[in-house]
Structures are given as C-alpha cells and as structure tokens.
Amino acid sequence: MPIAIAIDGPAGAGKSTIARACAKRLSYIYVDTGALYRAIGLAAMRNNIEPIESPQVDELLSQIKVELSFNENNEQTVLLNGEDVSGLIRTPEASMTASRISAVPSVRAYLLDLQRSIAKHNNVIMDGRDIGTVILPDAQVKIFLTASPQERAKRRYNELVQKGAEVTYNDVLDDVIKRDYQDSHREIAPLKPAKDSVLVDTTELDFEQSVSKILSVIKEKL
C-alpha cells in the first residue's frame, strides 16, 4: 500500500513550501489540494458566478474539468479544461474565492475522488485543510501545521511584494484572519486537526528547521 502523509493547517503556515521540500527528499509526490479549489474558484470568477451553494455552481461543475498533472520532477500543474492555470490562481482574489467556494458541498464532493485516486497509486504528501480528517483518514502520518496569524501574514505579505503585488501588511493580515474563520467555521469538512495528528507550530522556526521537524515526525511515525 502506498504511503500517505497528510499535512493540514491554515493559510500561510508554510504548508506548500515545506511539504514540497519534504516530498522531494522522500521522492514522494507532493499534492497541493488548495490548487483544486482555486481552479474552481477561478472558473466561477471567469463566469461571474457567486462562489456560494447554488444551481449555478452545480451547473459550472458539470461543465468544467479540473485535473492535476505531475512532471518528471513530481511538480504539480493544475489544469482547468486543459488550460494550465497554475499561475493565475495565486492572486488574493483567487484565494478568497477559493476559500468561499470550498464551503460548497458539491464542490468538495466533486474533488473527493480525484484526491483519493492520486493517493491510491502514489506515495504522497498531500496538503490541504481536510486531508487527515476526510480525504485520507487512514494516512500513516498526519501533521497539523500552523503558525501565528501575524507570522503567517508577514510571510504571505513578503511573498506578494516579491511578486510585485501592491498590498499592505494589514490587508494581508485581515485576509488571513478572514480565511481562517471561513475555513474553520464551514459546516462541511472544516479546518481542524485530526485526532491522531501531530501539531507543528512554525512561528519560531525558519524554513530549514520546519522541514527538519516535519521529516523527523515522518521518520518517527513510519
């Protein structure tokens, strides 16, 4: 049976960069499940559809195809109707839309099998909000990765500024707090640590320390 490592946690905890580095060292596939919700959010934005439970969103789901592909370096690309949208889904607006549309039950149902089937055939590190609780409840290792909202906002702000975005730290902090609330208060698959997860707080850890910590948790569990 392939090995599954679930890493859940709030926005900006460093899940994707840390999980990607760990996957590389273990030669596992790294799956960023947030990209799937972002791609559906982008489809809604493009079609001027409000990202809430509605017949319009259900109709949209019946018309789109969301896929993940992995190159020889195990790097992920997200495709929306065959178009590589990996870059387009990284704006603050796309983040907020993804968070809102991810609360729609039919959206979560739509993405369930896709996520499970990747883990069925590969050793994976999969990151998201409900991987350890809903998608892969039998994952051999479950980690809940977090950091203080201020630290997460600082990291996200630096990332956005580096990309040339015009944002203020306070706006980013507001977004982080709002997204935490939305992601952890929705009715279906809310963000919460799985009972058997290991909590890792990266507020005081730099990138290398975070990677080492996660790798040592994995080693201990496997």
Q: Which residues bind ligand DC (CB under 6 A)?
A: 11, 33-34, 37-38, 95, 98-99, 102, 128-131, 179, 183
Q: Nearest approach, Cβ of 115 to ligand DC (angstroms)?
A: 8
Residue 23 beta carbon to ligand DC: minimum distance, rounded to whole angstroms = 15
**By C-beta, is 11 or 145 nearer to ligand DC?**
11
- Give least dist CB 67 to ligand DC, A: 16
Please identify, using beta-carbon distances, which residue of 93 and 219 lies nearer to ligand DC: 93
Q: Which residues contact 27 (CB under 8 A, 6 or more apart)?
A: 74, 123
Residue with smaller CB distance to ligand DC, 180 or 218: 180
Cβ contact 152:16 at 8 Å: no
- DSSP conformation letters of 131-191: IIIII-TT-SEEEEEE--HHHHHHHHHHHHHHTT----HHHHHHHHHHHHHHHHH-SSS-S
Beta strands in 4-122, from DSSP E residues, in sequence order: 4-8, 29-32, 66-70, 76-80, 83-84
Decide whether 129 or 213 has the Cβ nearer to ligand DC.
129
Cβ at position 10, least distance to ligand DC in Å: 8
